[in-house]
């Protein structure tokens, strides 16, 4: 069983990279995000690997780190989520964003992935809601804020700041995390305008 490969990037395909390890070319299927982050052909790279063996094939799936691989493993435990769909989800959500989306029941974020409809996104949230912390720590303040916004009990300045950031094009997860961080920095009594300003600073500095 292969757990990690360290070699030189040989070439890229649409959804895979060939990693040359001492003259042997390993085809590793990856998320679009991981492929984008890998270096140019001829340069060194390291991938965490998940090996899937079936009667008719052996496939290697490559990941930027162990967290992404853990997210892949967890996603593929859900009925209807195969390797292709799991990679599609990891192409639009980093592991911590995936954990946050599950914890915050953000079906919309999951449904951004190709091949993931609302029903499948809801199933992912339902089946993994108690398992997401395994591969990503979710800020309780973000969960609390998102829950408060959902049931309309969040402080108005914070709720309005999140709404403003969402209207600017940021995902609900990103906006909630940014405003929660802004509120910690600004302290109690911060205005909507200040939370928006500090929230934008958080989003653009990441």
Tens digits of per-residue pLDDT, 152-175? 888 999 999 999 999 999 877 788
Are 184 and 170 members of one domain? yes
Q: Based on the fold, state whether residues 32 and 73 are members of the same structural domain.
A: no
pTM: 0.71
Helix (H, G, I), strand (E, B) or coil at 97: helix
Confidence (pLDDT) at 136: 55
What pLDDT score was predicted for residue 8?
98
Whether the CA torsion 147, 75, 33, 133 is positive or negative: it is: positive
Task: Identify whether residues 186 and 169 lie together within a single domain.
Answer: yes
The domain boundary, picked from 46, 63, 80, lies at 63
pLDDT digits (tens, 9 = 90+) for 173-204: 788 889 999 999 898 889 999 999 999 998 98
Confidence of residue 206 (pLDDT cuts 50, 70, 90): low
* Structure confidence by residue, pLDDT tens digits, 111-160: 999 999 999 999 999 999 777 655 555 667 776 777 677 668 889 999 99
User: Could you tell me the residue range of the domain that residue 172 belongs to?
Assistant: 140-205
Shared-domain flag, residues 150 and 129: no
Do 74 and 28 fall within a single domain?
no
Is the Cβ–Cβ distance between 3 and 28 less than 8 Å?
Answer: no
User: Taking all residues of the chain, what is their mean pLDDT, rounded to a whole number?
Assistant: 90
Say if residue 104 is in the same domain as residue 73: yes
Phi and psi at residue 60, in whole multiples of 5°? -105, 135
Answer yes or no: are the C-beta atoms of 3 and 11 closer than 8 Å.
no
Together in a domain, 15 and 34: yes
Task: Return the percentage of the chain with pLDDT > 70, whole number.
Answer: 93
Greater confidence (55 vs 69) lies with 69
Report how many domains make up the chain.
Answer: 3
Taking the alpha carbons of 177, 179, 185, 189 in that order, is the dihedral positive or negative?
negative
Give the residue from 63, 79, 94 where a domain finishes: 63
- Alpha-carbon distance of 170 to 162, in angstroms, equals 9
Look at residue 135 in the predicted model and tell me its pLDDT: 58
Alpha helices in the chain, H assignment, sequence order:
32-37, 66-75, 83-92, 95-103, 107-110, 118-128, 140-150, 156-167, 172-186, 192-205
* Residue 43 burial class via C-beta count within 10 angstroms: exposed 0-12, middle 13-18, buried 19 and up: exposed
Rounded Cα gap, residues 110 and 90, in angstroms: 9
Q: Is 164 helix (H, G, I), strand (E, B) or coil?
A: helix
Q: Is the pLDDT of residue 47 over 60?
A: yes
Domain boundary among 12, 45, 63: 63
Q: Which CATH number do you get for residue 32? A: 2.40.50.140
Which pLDDT does position 110 carry in this prediction?
A: 94
Are residues 194 and 173 part of one domain? yes
Distances (CA, A) of 125 to 38, 54, 110: 30, 27, 9
Nearest to 78 by CA among 86, 69, 90: 86
Length of the chain: 206
Task: List pLDDT tens digits, range 83-108.
Answer: 999 999 999 998 878 887 887 788 99
47-69: average pLDDT: 94
Same domain, 120 and 79: yes
**CATH for 123:** 1.10.150.20
The confidence score (pLDDT) of residue 95 equals: 86
What pLDDT does residue 132 have? 60
């Amino acid at each position: 069983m292969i757990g990690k490969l360290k070699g030189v990037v040989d070439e890229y395909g649409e959804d895979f990279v060939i990693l040359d390890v001492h003259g042997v070319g390993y085809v590793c299927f990856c998320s679009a995000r991981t492929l984008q982050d890998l270096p140019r052909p001829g340069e060194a790279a390291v991938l965490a690997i998940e090996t899937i063996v079936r009667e008719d094939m052996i496939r290697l799936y490559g990941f930027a780190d162990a967290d992404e691989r853990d997210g892949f493993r967890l996603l593929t435990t859900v009925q209807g989520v195969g390797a292709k769909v799991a990679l599609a989800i990891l192409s639009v959500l980093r592991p911590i964003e995936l954990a946050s989306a599950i914890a915050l029941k953000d079906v919309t974020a999951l449904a951004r992935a190709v091949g993931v409809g609302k029903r499948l996104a809801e199933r992912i949230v339902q089946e993994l809601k108690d398992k997401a912390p395994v591969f990503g720590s979710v800020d309780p303040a973000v969960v609390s804020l998102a829950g408060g916004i959902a049931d309309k009990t969040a402080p108005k300045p914070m709720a309005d700041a999140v709404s403003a950031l969402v209207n600017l094009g940021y995902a609900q997860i990103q906006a909630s995390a940014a405003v929660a961080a802004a509120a910690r920095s600004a302290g109690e009594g911060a205005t909507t305008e200040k939370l928006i300003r500090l929230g934008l600073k958080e989003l653009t500095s990441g």
